[in-house]
């Protein structure tokens, strides 16, 4: 029996490939397996090859598997495109209708199952997906009955007859494979799982849940891949909390509307990807200059320009740190797991109000859209902190011509905050340099004081931020330290397991607070390690450069980079490590 396997379904976009994956995954989740799913898709709605790869395991997984055990194909293109990935003696289950062929001389087994024909006989060719699922189950030696709960949940609304037919489709698919395999025991029988059904969600779902639980009550956004799910989630749920989403005319409107709303006391956010973030830069500067809280989520995708809109990349890093003109206080945080997506969304809302500045929550396509099981999200960790905001102050009447000192110079740099509508609290807000009351002032000493005050705010953040780096430090003086950020975590973790089996001592640091950079935390880790490899999805080693700039040690740090749009696989990092980077031996 095996502890994990990798399954993929592929076909033309719009043909129910996604739902086939969903139902298969739901059934495996029901049995208590851990799952990690990743979709390959393009910006077309109908047509074009799409596939959904799902890893099933008896222990938690946060990355794709290097190869593939089972490929379910609804067309020949799926076989042609994905065959290379298939394990030497892997299995292809394909619709007999298109007379599938696999490359000559391969050790793989092909099951040509009449998906469409069986489905038609049962009344609708739509059910060919269920036939495929049944066939997959037979390969895993699963009893077709195991699908019943999921099928009745999925189709129950449509009546018993529909449920019954879909179950029949599953059973017939399974029976067909069983008749072909002539009673041979399955090589791909999974060890039993713990039977506990888990949350199965994409990173964007976790981020959205965090926003909602963290008190976000207004969102303004413009649709874009891979951020739109956040907006869609909020549209569905915010009204239950009195809140609203406005789909704006563009991202400049989205960011400034969220600024207006935050200024007036509502926790408001926007979410987008690279192109939208580029349009928001001036507005983010406004939030920085006016010390208005603002949370912006950037789900990075392949750039530049429209780039690879549906593919993985991490190339917005520098732009997120330095993108605005002028110098503002800005916080950039990067969750490295789905769970952290949730907690960091809550934290982003807190930090924005505590530090009265823009906070960028930096995700990437793989984290945002990768779908995985997680054990739990902890309600008790949710905490709402609003910093120096005073919603019901008892203020003395202002003298004629006097304003409240909204930008008061303080030691921490953080000033008392009121919202418009507060009695006796009038102050001015402007993106022009201003004095303590917000009135424009270009005087040199005032400029200096206000600039220093704003930048002083974040000085202590790296010390205060809970776990600025997600660490796995098994060793003192390791041979190697891996550094990454956002979704590379899973692939790095698995690479480390393999390297350790070879006798190498490897530590791991996933940077979570990107800006201001946690130099004090990172520097000793680098110092200790013989060699440092920064793994990231871009062509110019942006994170490595940020690390070198802040912590030094340029000659120790090398990079493993990937920018072809596909996520790192553990084997890939391992190979590159062996070939190019690691100076071997423990000497």
Partner 1 sequence: MATVKDFRNNVKPNWCPGCGDFSVQASIQRACASLGLEPDDLALISGIGCSGRISGYVNAYGFHGTHGRVLPIAQGVKMANKDLTVIAAGGDGDGLAIGMGHTIHAIRRNIDITYIIMDNQIYGLTKGQTSPRSESGFVTKSTPEGSIEPSVNLMEMALSSGATFVAQSFSSDIKDLTSIIEQGVKHKGFSLINVFSPCVTYNKVNTYDWFKENLVKLSSIEDYDPSDRGMAMKTLMEHDSLVTGLIYQDTVRKSYQEMVKGYKEEPLKDAELNMDREKFNELVQQFI
Chain residues 249-308 in contact with partner 1, contact rule CB under 8 A: 249-250, 252-254, 256-268, 282-283, 286, 290
How many residues touch partner 1 (CB under 8 A)?
A: 71
Residue 378 or residue 502: which is nearer to partner 1 going by CB?
Answer: 378
Identity of the residue, 256 or 310, whose beta carbon is nearer to partner 1 in the bound complex: 256
List the one residue from 169, 209, 535, 560 that touches partner 1 (CB under 8 A).
209
DSSP notation for 304-326: STT-BTTS-----HHHHHH-SSS
β-strand 244-247 against 218-221: which pairing, if any?
A: parallel
Please tell me the distance from the alpha carbon of residue 406 to that of residue 497, in angstroms, as a whole number.
53
Nearest partner of 418 among 410, 406, 433, 402, judged by Cα:
406
Residue selected from 431, 552, 565, 571 as contacting partner 1 according to rule CB under 8 A: 431
Q: Does 382 bind partner 1 (CB under 8 A)?
A: yes
Find the binding residues for partner 1 in span 544-583 (CB under 8 A). none
Closer by beta carbon to partner 1, 239 or else 524: 239
Segment 218-247, which members bind partner 1 (CB under 8 A)? 218, 220, 237-244, 246
Q: Least CB distance from residue 220 to partner 1, whole Å?
A: 7
> What's the DSSP call for residue 510?
E
Q: How far apart are the first and last CA of the chain?
A: 40
The widest CA-to-CA distance across the chain, in whole angstroms, is 94
- The separation between CA 126 and the C-alpha centre of its own chain, rounded to angstroms, equals 32
CB 28, min distance to partner 1, A:
14
Sheet containing strand 34-40, strands side by side: 109-113, 86-95, 68-73, 4-12, 49-57, 34-40, 371-374, 199-202
Least distance from partner 1 to the Cβ atom of residue 5, Å: 23
Name residues contacting partner 1, limited to 432-451 (CB under 8 A): 432, 438-440
Question: 39: which 2 tokens?
Answer: 């979709």
Stretch that binds partner 1, among 155-163, 423-431, 466-474, 564-572 (CB under 8 A): 423-431
- For residue 577, CA distances in Å to 492, 522, 555 come to 11, 21, 17
Q: Which is nearer to partner 1, 21 or 214 (CB)?
A: 214
- Listed in sequence order, the residues at least 6 apart from 239 whose beta carbon sits closer than 8 Å to its beta carbon are none
CB of 215 closer than 8 Å to CB of 265:
no
CB 542 → partner 1: shortest distance, Å? 27
Residues 133-152 binding partner 1 (CB under 8 A) are none
Comparing CB distances to partner 1, the nearer of 201 and 458 is 201
DSSP annotation of 434 reads: B
* 247 burial type by CB count under 10 A (0-12 exposed, 13-18 middle, 19+ buried): middle
Residue 149 or 566: the one with the smaller Cβ distance to partner 1 is 149
* Shortest CB 115 distance to partner 1, Å: 29
The residue (of 28 and 138) whose beta carbon lies closer to partner 1 is 28
Compare residues 286 and 577 and give the one whose CB is closer to partner 1: 286
Measured from the CB atom, is 112 or 213 closer to partner 1?
A: 213
Instruction: Report the C-alpha gap between 513 and 511 in whole angstroms.
Output: 6
Give residues 493-532 in contact with partner 1 (rule: CB under 8 A). Answer: none
Annotate each residue in 400-419 with x if it binds partner 1 (CB under 8 A) or - if it does not, as one string: xx-x---------------x
Q: Does 53 bind partner 1 (CB under 8 A)?
A: no
Please report, as residue ranges, which positions from 339 to 378 form the binding site for partner 1 (by CB under 8 A). 377
Q: How does strand 4-12 pair with strand 49-57?
A: antiparallel
User: Are the C-beta atoms of 91 and 70 separated by less than 8 Å?
Assistant: yes
**Residue 287 near residue 280, CB atoms below 8 Å:** no
Cβ(315)–Cβ(301) below 8 Å: no
Q: Which is nearer to partner 1, 198 or 301 (CB)?
A: 198
| Structure-token match 């790192």, residue found | 568
Specify which residues 54 forms β-bridges with.
7, 37
Considering the rule CB under 8 A, would residue 539 count as an interface residue with partner 1? Answer: no
Q: Which is nearer to partner 1, 237 or 475 (CB)?
A: 237
**Which stretch in 186-194, 305-313, 431-439, 540-548 sits in contact with partner 1 by CB under 8 A?**
431-439
Stretch 158-197: interaction string toward partner 1, x if CB under 8 A: ---------------------------------------x
**Cα–Cα dist 99/479, whole Å:** 52
Q: Is 426 in the site for partner 1 (CB under 8 A)?
A: yes
Per CB under 8 A, 99 contacts partner 1: no
Report the residue number, 188 or 382, with the smaller CB distance to partner 1. Answer: 382
Strand partners, 246: 220
- CA distances in angstroms from 114 to 7, 100, 141, listed in the order given: 19, 11, 19
């Amino acid at each position: 029996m095996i502890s994990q396997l990798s399954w993929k379904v592929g076909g033309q976009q719009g043909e129910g490939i996604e739902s086939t994956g969903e139902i298969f995954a739901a059934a495996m989740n029901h049995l208590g397996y851990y799952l990690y799913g990743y979709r390959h898709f393009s910006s077309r709605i109908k047509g074009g090859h799409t596939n959904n790869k799902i890893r099933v395991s008896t222990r938690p997984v946060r990355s794709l598997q290097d190869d593939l055990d089972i490929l379910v194909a609804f067309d020949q293109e799926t076989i042609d495109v994905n065959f290379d990935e298939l394990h030497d003696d892997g299995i292809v289950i394909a619709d007999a209708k298109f007379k599938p062929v696999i490359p000559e001389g391969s050790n793989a087994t092909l099951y040509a199952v009449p998906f469409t024909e069986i489905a038609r006989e049962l009344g609708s060719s739509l059910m060919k997906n269920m036939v495929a699922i049944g066939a997959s189950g037979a390969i895993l030696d699963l009893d077709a009955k195991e699908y019943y709960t999921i099928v009745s949940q999925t189709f129950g609304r449509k009546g018993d007859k529909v449920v019954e037919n879909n179950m029949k489709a599953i059973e017939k698919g399974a029976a067909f494979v069983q008749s072909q395999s002539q009673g041979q025991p399955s090589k791909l029988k999974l060890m039993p799982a713990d039977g506990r059904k888990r949350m199965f969600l994409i990173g964007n779902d976790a981020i959205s849940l965090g926003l909602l639980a963290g008190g976000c009550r207004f969102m303004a956004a413009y649709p874009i891949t891979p951020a739109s799910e956040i907006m869609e989630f909020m549209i569905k749920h915010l009204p239950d909390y009195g809140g609203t989403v406005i789909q704006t005319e563009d991202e400049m409107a989205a960011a400034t509307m969220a600024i207006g709303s935050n200024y007036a006391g509502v926790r408001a956010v926007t979410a987008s990807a690279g192109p939208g973030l580029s349009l928001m830069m001036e507005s983010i500067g406004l939030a920085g200059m006016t010390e208005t809280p603002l949370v912006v989520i950037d789900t990075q995708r392949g750039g530049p320009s429209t780039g690879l809109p549906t593919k993985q990349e991490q190339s917005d890093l520098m732009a997120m740190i330095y993108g605005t003109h002028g110098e503002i206080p800005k916080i950039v945080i990067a969750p490295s797991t789905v769970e952290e997506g949730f907690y960091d969304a809550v934290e982003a809302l807190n930090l924005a109000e505590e530090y009265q500045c823009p906070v960028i929550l930096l995700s990437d396509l793989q984290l945002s859209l990768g779908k995985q099981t997680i054990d739990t999200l902890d309600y008790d960790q949710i905490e709402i902190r609003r910093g120096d905001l005073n919603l019901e102050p008892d203020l003395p009447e202002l003298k004629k011509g006097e304003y409240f000192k909204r930008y008061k110079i303080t030691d921490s740099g953080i000033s008392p905050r009121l919202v418009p509508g507060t009695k006796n609290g009038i102050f001015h807000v402007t993106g022009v340099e201003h004095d303590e009351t917000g009135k424009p002032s270009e005087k040199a000493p005032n400029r200096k004081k206000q600039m220093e005050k704003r930048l002083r705010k974040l000085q202590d953040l790296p010390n205060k931020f809970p776990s600025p780096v997600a660490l796995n430090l098994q060793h003192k003086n390791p041979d190697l330290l891996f550094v990454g950020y956002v979704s590379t975590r899973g692939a790095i973790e698995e690479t480390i397991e393999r390297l350790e089996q070879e006798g190498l001592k490897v530590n791991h640091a996933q940077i979570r607070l990107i800006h201001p950079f946690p130099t004090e935390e990172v520097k000793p880790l680098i110092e200790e390690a013989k060699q440092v490899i920064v793994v990231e999805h871009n062509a110019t080693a942006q994170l490595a450069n940020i690390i070198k700039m802040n912590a030094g040690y340029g000659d120790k740090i090398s990079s493993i980079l990937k920018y072809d749009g596909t996520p790192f696989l553990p084997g890939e990092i391992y190979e590159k490590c062996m070939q190019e980077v690691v100076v071997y031996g423990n000497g």
